[in-house]
Amino acid sequence: MEHKLTKHSSGATRPVLTVVMDGVGIGRKCESNAVYVARTPNLDRIMRDYPTVTLKAHGTAVGLPTDDDMGNSEVGHNALGSGQVFAQGAKLVTESIESGKMFASGTWGWLTDGVRESGGTLHFLGLFSDGNVHSHIDHLKAMIVRAKKDGVRRVRVHILLDGRDVGETSALDYVLPFEDFLSSLRDGSFDVMIASGGGRMKITMDRYEANWAMVKDGWATHVLGEGRQFPSAEEAIRTYRDELSVIDQDLPAFVIARDGEPVGPVKDGDSVIFYNFRGDRSIEICRAFEGGENFDKFDRKRVPAVRFSGMLEYDGDLHIPSRYLVSPPEITNTMGEYLTGTGLRIFAISETQKYGHVTYFWNGNRSGKFSDELEEYVEIPSDVVPFEQRPWMKCAEIADRVIEALGSGKYDCLRVNFPNGDMVGHTGSLDATVCAMEALDLQLGRILAAVDAVGGAAIVTADHGNADEMAEIDKKTGEEKRNADGSFKAKTSHTLNRVPCVIYDNAHAVDYAVKEDRGQFGLSSVAATTVNLMGYEKPPMWDESIIEVK
């Protein structure tokens, strides 16, 4: 299939920049909304003086099962980059389990046959919540029930505590009922228990190779059974909270032990399922299991001979992992394919924390470039420090490179992700997130001046909400929940709020009209809007543009 754009009748051509303010939604005007509280004169000005619509960035608008499901950066950038909505990981896995397709797959049979034949253990490792961004605890439960039905005799569960996509101190709300669930299954022929765990931002779930030490610590905990020992996950969580006063995502690693021996290290003959469905924080632990003798990221000390599978294939180009339970969505006809197919030049940039979002996810879960000649990707290395301690992150350095790229005249279509609102928002620190928004706004002003200097246009938007709701909300009263000392009960997860989309254009705005915002637009409308602003018609399979060319 030829991926080539057709010029539209206006004949206008100009560089177009898409600015993704990651995690910046439109929330209530209140003290716990860091976007509202922050001093952001540039964002305020463009939302007041330029055409602005709101985009749906969660639920069915980004391919998730229901509109109760918050959006995330992965599915958001898939929609931004493809101009379409594809059924995403959570929905695919749920449908595969409910239909029985997962358990009829060759991979499930290979995993369970292996432990039946060896007398080994079936291990489940993944994020332990119902946040439905990286995983869902119901998927884990369904697989454990099926494993027992299929004659598996021993199961161990390695839990990565959330506190990010769900309440910041909600771990026991999942652990205690789950222990009851395991007790209901446990009998003389089925031995099942939690074996290890730790906070998702401390072990295992690193991404984009920002901090391999997290994966090393996870390997030691889950595979080797090394670390501080506790008789139960509940006691580990309560002890760490008392000692350290940290939220769930930052809880240190723990190992469950009996008589000084870990109950579930991974051994030869075992099978391991990494049950997250989202790819970015899954790839590195998969590489550790499947890296073979050439793996050089850390000393694994002992590499057991196991059968390993992911929930999905997390990288379709590099085929990571080599075995998986559910086929990922096939995302086709992306913006990158059409722009390069037309001979247009692309520039994409972010810092490490979101670099994969403007490249891999934007391109439909595809590694690499569509054209080495036409595309330039720039990664600014992220600082390896807690984000609340440096909330400006790398926004100034990112802006420097965007301004340089605009001024060079080399690029037709540019995209940038500023991670501040999301990564700092996830810490739960309102003060730090306000600082993050103010730092971002300074750079937004610099970049928009550069857009004007080259006669270009910009789309200023976001991929989902986060910084716009920094406190837990009481569903009955609609008010912020507060701690005993009167402070807000911090919210660290994404929101269900819509996100802004500003069409900033001081050069060619007379060539088109911005359509009335009737709530019909989602993130997938940005692709068509981008190519229309560049002077081209959208491909027929893309969703509706926000503008109408005169």
CA distances from 513 to 358, 517, 549 (A): 28, 12, 6
> Count of CB atoms within 10 A of residue 250's CB?
20
Element (H, E) at 196: strand 191-199
CA atoms of 428 and 440, how far apart (whole Å): 18
Best CA proximity match to 539, nearest among 363, 329, 336: 336
Among 274, 328, 23, 362, smallest CA distance to 164 is for 23
Among 99, 91, 72, which residue's Cα sits nearest to residue 312? Answer: 91
Contact call for residues 223 and 304 (beta carbons, < 8 A): yes
Among 264, 270, 274, smallest CA distance to 307 is for 270
SS3 content of the chain, % helix, strand, coil (to 5): 35, 20, 45
Asked about 73 being catalytic, the answer comes back as yes
CA–CA gap between residue 318 and residue 338 (Å, rounded):
23
Name 261's bridge partners.
258
* Cα separation, 53 vs 335, whole angstroms: 21
* CA pair distance 263, 250, nearest whole angstrom: 23
Q: Which two tokens stand for residue 367?
A: 């590694």
* Separation of CA 137 from chain center: 17
Answer whether 310's CB lies under 8 Å from 271's CB: no
Q: Are 537 and 82 in contact (CB under 8 A)?
A: no
Cα atoms found within 13 Å of the Cα of residue 454, Cβ hemisphere only:
25
Q: Of the listed 32, 73, 282, 309, which one is catalytic?
A: 73
CA-CA distances (angstroms) from residue 510 to 18, 304, 533?
20, 65, 11
Q: Which residues are catalytic?
A: 73
